[in-house]
Amino acid sequence: MFGFEVRDRDLLARIGKLTTMSGAVETPAFLPVINPLKQAVTARELLNDFGCRMVITNSYIIKKQLGEAAKKKGIHSILDFPSVIMTDSGAYQILAYGRVGVTPDEIVQYQEKLGSDIATILDIPTGWKVTREQAQHTVEETIRRAKQLEGLKTREDVMWVGPVQGGRFLDLVAFSAQAMRKLPFEVHALGSPTPVMEQYLFDLLVSMVLTAKMNLPASRLFHLFGAGHPFMFALVVALGCDLFDSAAYALFAQENRYMTEHGTVRLERLKYLPCSCRVCSKKDPQDLMEMPDEERERELTRHNLDVCFSEMRRIKQAIAEGRLWEHLEMMTHGHPSLLQALKHLGKYADYIEENSPVSKRSGLFFYSSVDLVRPEVTRYRKRLLERYTLREGVKVLLLLPGLGHRHLRRTGSQNKALRAVCEKLKVERSEVNVCVYAPPFGVIPDELSDVYPLGQYEYAYPPDQETIEYMAVRIVEHIETMKYKSTMMVAESGTWQGKLANLCSCICREKGVTFESLI
């Protein structure tokens, strides 16, 4: 009755087809949170006006407000939404209020009777202000309840979510994920992320999500509860979150908060509406402020939804083009905490590289040292160390400066430098390995000039100091690995090339490696 097929990939993101008993949806998917008792924009409008084919609602609230009658009617009829519906179990209410008036067994059976396409066990959220002992209890209790599911469920057409708990204690997150992977869940979710996101601790969110994913089966879907604002959608998708929900679009509208791609602005502070959606193209801020409260909330809700779904379309197009990193970098420059999270990906560079596509449809754009954690840079460093071998008889490394987009095309000055080195060191041309050095990769052997991505990228020159330092380490690493007898580097004084040559010379001197720069 259900399945998941991956169609396209970039970074850890996956465009896929998720099939459920109520139909198929495309991932990654943003799920608007629907309150069945208060809807400024109805679920039916989400489907008809916004093309939204998947929503999430709270089964505990439905049970509390509608009781047994809801089971007879069914969740799809209650929401008037014929497509895919995911239900939460009330765990957020435990986080907010400390308890809920329902047992784990009851909420499992209730969600089955409601006819949820994707249902969630009643886990115990770890939360934020807890001790390690308290966090460990939430993990162990959630695992215990997860193990009970197999004996409780009676339907085979419902997909079940197994939440991963542990909060900021990453070792507990890993332990929780390792336990959950042994159980027959179709979807996993990161529990307790909301306090982390509310405090803009996006670097910690990166660690929590990736710690969970590194210990879960890659074939299963991953959900992030409460993803919040569209300015972080690109980050969570890049981390491999296939599904994520948010009520922010509606909550912000209730507070007269207007979403943009990069943040939120209070409506009274706006002189212009920087958007061309169906709401903003016909009105100005004053028009909205003069509306009755209920009408204004509805219009802001519609605008906020447009911002969310527009960002999702941009993300999917970026994945299809192989440019998710470029889009992610643009979005994370919208807030320092997001950019900090992007830099934090370096801690997981090897995992991201191992799970990212090895080639793309488009060339790459590099802007700064932030790009040093890109999987393409990590992969090249590893492949050059592991797989590159010298021709027989090579003794000398000649490093020539790259010349931008066509840096590997030999020029007259490069040939002149090669002749000069051969005369100076009394060696034949066949004994010299000619390489160029160029950001961000460092050493680029001439024979690899057409190998992706070395000939298919653009860089914003000049490189910054961190990139220069990275290149110097990579160059010396290559010299040591290949065991050249001599290395000569051609560089122009007073430029980034000269800085790089001086840095390489210092490192080689410390290591006792033969190196000479021709500046």
176, 160 Cβ separation under 8 angstroms: no
Q: Which residue has the tokens 């920087």?
A: 274
Q: Which amino acid, one-letter code, is at 116? A: S
CA separation for the pair 433, 317 (Å, rounded): 41
Residues 6 or more apart in contact with residue 39 via CB below 8 angstroms? none
Contact 488, 396 (CB under 8 A): yes
Taking a C-beta distance cutoff of 8 angstroms, is the pair 430, 393 a contact?
yes
Residue 38 Cα distances to 42, 229, 254, angstroms: 9, 21, 11
For residue 234, the SS3 value is: helix
163: Cβ contacts below 8 Å, ≥ 6 apart: 91, 120, 121, 123, 142, 180, 188, 189, 190, 191
**For the chain, how many residues are written?**
519
The structure tokens 């307790």 sit at 192
Evaluate whether 124 touches 141 at the Cβ level (below 8 Å): yes
Rounded to whole angstroms, how far apart are CA atoms 432 and 166?
A: 55
The active-site residue out of 10, 88, 117, 306 is 88
Question: Which tokens is 357 given?
Answer: 């596509």
The Cα 489–Cα 400 span in angstroms is 6
Strands 23-27, 187-190: parallel, antiparallel or unpaired by DSSP?
unpaired
Residues 457, 438: Cα–Cα separation, whole Å: 11
- 3-state SS record for 66-99: HCCHHHHHCHHHHHCCCCEEEEECCHHHHHHHCC
Helix (H, G, I), strand (E, B) or coil at 418: helix
CA atoms within 13 A on the CB side of 191: 35
Question: 19-48 burial, b for 16+ CB within 10 Å, e for fewer?
Answer: bbbbeebebbbbbbbbebeebbbebebbbe
Q: Is 49 a catalytic site residue?
A: no
Q: Confirm if 204 and 340 have CB atoms less than 8 A apart.
A: no
Rounded-to-integer distance, Cα 197 and Cα 271, Å: 29
B/e letters for 172-192, b = 16+ CB within 10 Å, e = fewer, are bbbbbbebbbeeebbbbbbbb
Q: Residues with catalytic annotation? A: 88
